Amino acid sequence: MKSFKEYLMESKKIYEFKVKIIGECPKDCASQIKAALAQFHVGSVSEGKRTPVQIRHSEFPEHKNLSMSVYDVTVDYPATNHQIRDLIASALGKSLSEVKAMNMAEVAEHDLNHENDERTGESFLNKHELEYAPGGQELTSESHKMSFLADLAKDPRTTGTQYKGVNDEILAPSVPKHSKETPGKQVKVETKKFSNIFTKQVKITDPMKGAK
């Protein structure tokens, strides 16, 4: 059976950070980091990994032509990125813009956002073949357009519905339909000939007639 201490050690939560420092670092930089974060009970500080000099680092875009040192830090007590950064920068005598501290979730997000930063000089079009959709050209041809219009004319939702009302006598007896031979061309529909409903003239009596 496990002792209480063993259960306590297994349930103990560790807070991991990746600390990045631009420019020169002292030889005992790891020891200084551990001392600076003593209030959070430092679990471990790795030996710094130094990168080659680069024109620009994604973490420090404002600093150019410098190398960068990376440290893995674990603490037992919860701490924020700003607390870790501020304490380390103060201990090393660096400005806040020269030190970055990220938890592991932020590290994963950063790596994902910058995984394609390195330029290979290889063309994307040559590396990935473009997908070809068979029949794509046919979908834009004139014959397809006319066929589409013919099918659209047969749809009852687009031809409309004739309703009876008070104006039936002056309206066309049916809805114009499209010709099957030439889609899109309207067929003349015979309409009833109506008498001149609105042509009846009304004679107005001359008001001056009979006046003396």
pLDDT of amino acid 158: 60
Q: Indicate whether 202 belongs to any domain.
A: no
Q: Indicate whether 101 belongs to any domain.
A: yes
Q: SS3 for 44?
A: strand
Integer angstrom CA distances of residue 185 from 143, 149, 176, 206: 14, 10, 10, 53
Q: Indicate whether 32 belongs to any domain.
A: yes
Q: Two tokens at 14?
A: 């560790």
pLDDT by position in tens, the chain (length 212): 667 666 555 567 889 999 999 999 998 999 999 999 999 999 999 999 999 998 888 889 899 999 999 999 999 999 999 999 999 999 999 999 999 999 988 888 877 877 766 655 565 555 555 555 555 556 566 777 788 778 777 766 665 666 666 666 666 666 555 555 555 555 555 555 545 555 556 666 666 766 55
- Counting the structural domains of the chain, the total is 1
- The Cα 82–Cα 96 span in angstroms is 9
Range of the domain at 100: 14-113
- The Cα 48–Cα 50 span in angstroms is 6
pLDDT of amino acid 192: 52
What is the residue-averaged pLDDT of the chain? Answer: 76
Torsion of CA 50, 92, 109, 17, to 10 degrees: 100
Cβ within 8 Å of residue 86, ≥6 positions away: 96
Instruction: Tell me the whole-structure pTM to 2 decimals.
Output: 0.50
CATH code (residue 63): 3.40.1310.10
- The Cα 48–Cα 52 span in angstroms is 13
Question: Residues 103-147: pLDDT tens digits?
Answer: 988 888 877 877 766 655 565 555 555 555 555 556 566 777 788
Q: Indicate whether 73 belongs to any domain.
A: yes
